[in-house]
Amino acid sequence: MEKFNFKIEKKIPGKLGRAGVIHTPHGDIETPAFIAVGTKATVKAMTPEQVKEAGAQAVLANTYHLYLEPGDEIVRAAGGLHKFMNWSGPVFTDSGGFQVFSLGVAYEEGGISKFLTEKTGENNGRKSNAEKLAKIDDDGVSFKSPKDGSLHRFTPERSMEIQHNLGADIIFAFDECTAPTADYAYQREAMNRTHAWAKRSLDRHNELNLEAGLPNDQYQALFGITQGGRFQDLREESAKTIGAMSFDGFGIGGSFEKKDMNSAVGWVTALLPEDKPRHLLGIGAVEDLFIGVENGADTFDCVMPTREARNGSIYTKRGRINIRNAEFREDFTPIEADCACYTCQHYTRAYVAHLFRAEEMLAATLASIHNEHFFLTLVKNMRQAILADRFVEFKTEFLTGFKKSG
């Protein structure tokens, strides 16, 4: 089996977007692709078989959470994440950076708005009296576990060691994720620290590979992460700096305001090496996926499909619906008439609505299956549109219909 690689198959004329294939030891990822989030080695409310049937090519697990529970050494003893969670396809793990820095006092699955560090003492621009759980310095970050208050330390080297134990196909360099509201001076400070940590992550990653004598069929690809917030000069400087390092691919940090996304992603991808894949971290709104694809992002991850599903918010091609609404009590049609997912093939809106009102666990499973299928299929269709030279038309057609119901 050959080493990790990426091949571009087709480009969007006049845009930075492209369709390609990422080759990993556990299979190919046809891009652009949506990556299902399995935070704690599980996509919430779904079995691995259901995740695969929904169309997922790969999953992304969370380094920070798996370090705290069950522990990376236990995952390694189990044979790595693939065996531990019974997932045979490609696996990503993030660096743990976002979770360590946000540490959400009430953190569940993600979201920049829950950002909290000792550096700023702010929560999304508002002062907070909550205990500050993370202390950053140039060497790394010390933090308290929200589970039991125990003290822990992450450095770039430690992040690499944990991720090697987890055994994912694609891992990320340790970075400092900033709040979108952070000022220019702090964004630069954090970016410079991220660049220094990227070099240290790369060095330790290479050392660990040498120590383990890993053959090509067990090769882990390491992605460097660009930062810089909403500032063009910082984003471009970060893209040039990280892009010049010998990473296998790149992550684009999402610490920018939603309104700046179109510009910010383009600033970065225009300068990153074209022959390596780019992952847009934590992006999942429907409109944002189109923006990311046309601006050259190849893969995406977001907890939105399952998180919103558990709250009864379900996606259709005409917009989101709240399945708890009274109008669905006697609606004996599928969630979406032409949807091929397991839920739509076997159950009605009325039944799923009943499960939510009855507070049955199956409600979250059936809604999550549909939402994951919706996002996975949407990005798969973007890929097909690129290959057919009709991405712009597909984008216009889809978003026009999607916004009709909103």
Please give the positions annotated as active site: 94, 301
8 A C-beta contact, residue 378 and residue 290: no
**Listed residue (175, 171, 192) closest to 254, CA to CA:** 175
8 A C-beta contact, residue 288 and residue 302: no
> What span, in angstroms and rounded, lies between the C-alpha atoms of 354 and 344?
15
Distant-in-sequence, close-in-space partners of 393: CB < 8 Å, separation ≥ 6:
385
**Listed residue (247, 153, 154) closest to 205, CA to CA:** 247
SS3 126: strand
> What span, in angstroms and rounded, lies between the C-alpha atoms of 122 and 118?
8
Compute the 3-state secondary structure of the chain and give helix, strand, coil in percent, each to the nearest 5: 40, 20, 40
**Listed residue (379, 377, 358) closest to 312, CA to CA:** 358
> What span, in angstroms and rounded, lies between the C-alpha atoms of 322 and 328?
9
SS3 321: strand
**Listed residue (61, 28, 4, 70) closest to 219, CA to CA:** 4
> What span, in angstroms and rounded, lies between the C-alpha atoms of 277 and 157?
23
> What span, in angstroms and rounded, lies between the C-alpha atoms of 193 and 300?
24
CB-side exposure of 221: number of CA atoms within 13 Å?
24
> What span, in angstroms and rounded, lies between the C-alpha atoms of 317 and 398?
7
Burial of 148 (0-12, 13-18, 19+ CB in 10 A): exposed
How do 27-31 and 18-24 pair as beta strands? antiparallel
> What span, in angstroms and rounded, lies between the C-alpha atoms of 306 and 314?
9
